[in-house]
Amino acid sequence: MGLRPSGVPDSITIHEMNVSIRQRIRQIMLNMERLRWLPDQVPDDYFLVNIPEYRLHIFEHKQYLWSMNVVVGRTATATSIFSGNLSVVGFCPYWNVPQSIIKNEMLPKLKANPGYIYKNNLEVLKNGKPINPYSVSWSKYKTGVPFVIRQKPGPSNALGLVAFYFPNSYDIYLHDTPAKSFFSETNRAFSHGCIRVAKPAELAKAILEEDKNWTPEKVDEAMHTGKESWYTLKNKIPVYIGYFTAWVDDEDVIHFYDDVYKRDGRLGELIFKE
């Protein structure tokens, strides 16, 4: 059920035990429908993120290889379901703060104290050049700002020490994070929509292992230089972002997961309407 073992029959465990067989069969049928939305043929190598499971699965030569915990978007900023091709690994990346976060979270703090920029290792850019945040009349902005606000590389950067980009209209990607404690939670829907990975160094090394110029030591070095650098993959890796609340693993064990975005109900209304 994807629950963290607690050693006691707590309320969450008892709730899962009381789900009827009829409901589980319905849940399986809903996810069989979702499987039909995927391509008939998948490539030899690909990544699959299952949002309700909070896991990233790595497949190589069409065989399951390994997986890791991830943090996905919270309900208000839900991670979208789509597919893309991972093409770039960014080491020590800058984080360009989305206008939505500037509007909803940063502006009130900047109006109170422009020093918030320096305190959080940020910088304000106008026409590509840094400007003094104290020179900006933050109080006159309500829906956004005509500047780029970005966070400099470093261990406190929101993207961590490495990010994995696959161009898409949702501006969603995989990345490291300084907030490691969330990976131990049962419910891991905490982000603004992007997908945080629990083992970023291992993922970077796995992606670059076919390039003999990139040893594990070189990956570690690139992650800790403090300067942004980019590596473009010779062979892009397909990434599928899926939403499966029931799943059978490679050992034929069925797993059920919490419907974090409450999508089973809406899909059930369509499928079982009659």
pLDDT averaged over the chain? Answer: 93
| Mean pLDDT along residues 238-267 | 94
Residues 96-117: tens digit of each pLDDT:
999 999 999 999 999 999 999 9
Global confidence as pTM:
0.90
Of residues 107, 65, 97, 50, the one with CA closest to residue 245: 50
Alpha carbon of 268 to those of 35, 152, 181, 265: distances in Å? 15, 45, 35, 5
Q: Assess whether pLDDT exceeds 80 at residue 21.
A: yes
219: helix, coil or strand?
A: helix
Could you give the strand order of the β-sheet that contains 122-126, starting from the edge strand earlier in sequence?
95-96, 148-151, 122-126, 129-131
Helix axes 200-208, 216-223, angle to 10 degrees: 130
Asked whether residue 241 carries a pLDDT value surpassing 90, the answer given is yes
Please give the pLDDT value at position 274.
66
Residue 34: the pLDDT is 94
Q: How many CB atoms lie within 10 A of CB 185?
A: 13
The DSSP result for 20-38, as a single string, is -HHHHHHHHHHHHHHHTTS
